[in-house]
Amino acid sequence: MIHRIAPLAVILAVLGTSVSAGLADARVLRSEDGSGTPSRTARGHTFRPYTLVRISAPTNVAKWPGGPTMGTLSGSTPLGSASWLWAVGRSIGGAWLQVVLPWRPNGRTGWIRRPAHRMATSISIQVDLSERRLALDRRGRTMAAFPAGVGAAQSPTPQGRFSVTDLVLTGDPQGPFGWFALGLSGHQPTLPPGWSGGDQLAIHGTNNPTSIGAAVSAGCVHVSSHALATLRRWAVLGTPVLVRP
């Protein structure tokens, strides 16, 4: 977890819903890879880039395009990062985008009007819990893979679709988070007893190397300093993170 209280908060450097049949605008084109333009990989496979969107001001989230409001997204995260979201679908015409929400419970999506600031990326982070492995993918192909520590039996790492919300230089390379952390849009609903570090999921380092490759964490994913250096080079705010069994 990423603490939202001192000392880390002080030292960090923040680098389907149902569709109404009566609304023509609510007809939806969906893609697990986002809503970018399909391209061809070197081996001829079709890859659809992931679409990331920037929320620069408070933005209402609808249950479906033009539907009732579910809530409001802020232009920044609780840790002070700019709000970037992963868009996993779009309405016919593209006026609305379906985004993965950083809200509880995990797995929620909602619809926002298409913002002005958007970008496409071919990068994603894939976490395999059974293999205890984190892979950095580019255009659907693994670029690099690393052993990963995952949640313990009493506090398992949640599965699902998430995105990177924060890029954090901890300022304490020897501390429990290592020198760098990627805050995620997900939350840990089953925190271990006595835990006081908040419920935001993260990918981070550790001062206990034996936890890498083991199931011992409070829910976060632990990787090596080398893995963090690779992730920092390629990941941006909004980067998709898929956690599978």
CA distance 229 to 92: 39
Q: To the nearest 10°, the Cα dihedral for 218, 159, 102, 146?
A: 70
Fill in the amino acid letter for 5: I
List 147's β-bridge partners, or say none.
133
Fill in the amino acid letter for 132: R
Q: Which one is catalytic: 3, 187, 204, 222?
A: 204
CA distance 108 to 125: 19
3-class SS letters over 206-243: CCCHHHCCCEEECCCEECCHHHHHHHHHHCCCCCEEEE
- In 3D space, the residue among 158, 131, 161, 134 whose CA is nearest the CA of residue 146 turns out to be 134
List 134's β-bridge partners, or say none.
127, 146
Q: Which one is catalytic: 3, 220, 222, 226?
A: 220
User: What DSSP state is assigned to residue 149?
Assistant: B
Strand pairing report for 200-204 and 221-222: parallel
Place of tokens 């929620």: 108
* Catalytic (active site) residue 222: no
CA distance 213 to 222: 8
Query: Quick one: residue 122, left, alpha or beta (phi over 0 = left, psi -120 to 50 = alpha)?
Result: alpha
* Catalytic (active site) residue 187: no
Give the catalytic positions in this structure.
204, 220
